[in-house]
Amino acid sequence: MDKSNKRIVLVTGATGGLGTAMCKTLLKDGFKVVGNYITPEKAEKWTKQMNDEGFHIDLFKGDVSSYEDTGRMLKEIETKVGTIDTLVNNAGITRDGRLVNMKVEDWHAVINTNLNSVFNCTHQLLNGMIERKFGRIINISSVNGQRGQFGQTNYSAAKAGMHGFTKSLAMEVAKYGITVNTISPGYIGTDMVMAVPEKVLTQIVAQVPMGRLGGTHEVAHLVSFLASEETSFITGANYSINGGQHVY
Ligand code: CAA
């Protein structure tokens, strides 16, 4: 909680497309929001843009793929802002390519940033949440973790792994008032998705019954819903938000 008794939410990878929309929506919905970033130039531009739009969000630098740097950042946030009630594990990267061509570093980069980061952040916040008997952990996975995607063995493995983590941890911490859930967005109009070759993206959108990319605000509203006090009986769930691209 912060000094005015607002729940504090940490969004990792806050300066990306989804992270930005989450920060804005959570702030509008009455949370105290802090963001994490890794690239200083991007963070500087982001803060200026957000301030111009009337959103005041403190950003903290930290490499969530490193356990030590994550720990340092979390301590800084707790000292400067307060104890973190809700963690949104949103930071993620792609290094697409067929496995036959995949470089060892591209495998490790994706697993470290997308999956090990979930451990690094959650593990170091969990004791505090247990003591305070409240917590919301929201893991941002992907439709490609649910169904697989040509060219994404690393990404799909990491994203599927996130939901395995969610289900197991949900069972372990349910008795402490902590919920753990996954959100699996489909193709959303972010820079990450727009980097997919145009021809490939056109083919993908053609498989989406809604015939369009998702909006970042659509995912952000789901995050805010799961962060709320009222969702205290929802845990271990995986919310698909993909325009019907993958139904099961
Ligand atoms: N299914 C079957 N075959 C395919 C295919 C597919 N979807 N895509 C490509 N191929 C085939 C090609 O036809 C080609 O076959 P031939 O050699 O027989 O001609 C072969 O694979 C090689 O294709 P490329 O020349 O495209 O090879 P590449 O290795 O340079 O690139 C790729 C492959 C990187 C996967 C590229 O196609 C690509 O970027 N695909 C998009 C992957 C994607 O959807 N990423 C999502 C990013 S956004 C995100 O991750 C957010 C989220 O959560 C949704």
Ligand 1: which of 159, 200, 207, 240 to mutate, judged by most atoms within 8 Å of the beta carbon? 200
What pLDDT is attached to residue 74? Answer: 98
pTM: 0.96
What pLDDT is attached to residue 82? Answer: 96
pLDDT tens, 205-230? 999 999 999 999 999 999 999 999 99
Question: Which of ligand 1's atoms lies nearest the C-alpha of 192?
Answer: 48
What pLDDT is attached to residue 2? Answer: 76
What pLDDT is attached to residue 3? Answer: 73
> Which portions of the chain are predicted below pLDDT 70?
none
What pLDDT is attached to residue 5? Answer: 85
C-alpha 227 to ligand 1 mean position (Å): 35
What pLDDT is attached to residue 4? Answer: 79
What pLDDT is attached to residue 237? Answer: 98
Residues enclosing ligand 1, CB less than 6 A?
94, 96-98, 101, 142-144, 149-152, 155, 187, 192-193, 196-197, 200
Tell me the domains of the chain and their CATH numbers: 8-188+215-241 (3.40.50.720)
C-alpha 111 to ligand 1 mean position (Å): 19
The DSSP result for the chain, as a single string, is --TT-PPEEEETTTTSHHHHHHHHHHHHTT-EEEEEES-HHHHHHHHHHHHHTT---EEEE--TTSHHHHHHHHHHHHHHT----EEEE---------GGG--HHHHHHHIIIIIIHHHHHHHHHHHHHHHHT-EEEEEE--HHHHH--TT-HHHHHHHHHHHHHHHHHHHHHGGGTEEEEEEEE-SBSSHHHHTS-HHHHHHHHHT-TT-SPBPHHHHHHHHHHHHSGGGTT--S-EEEESTTSS--
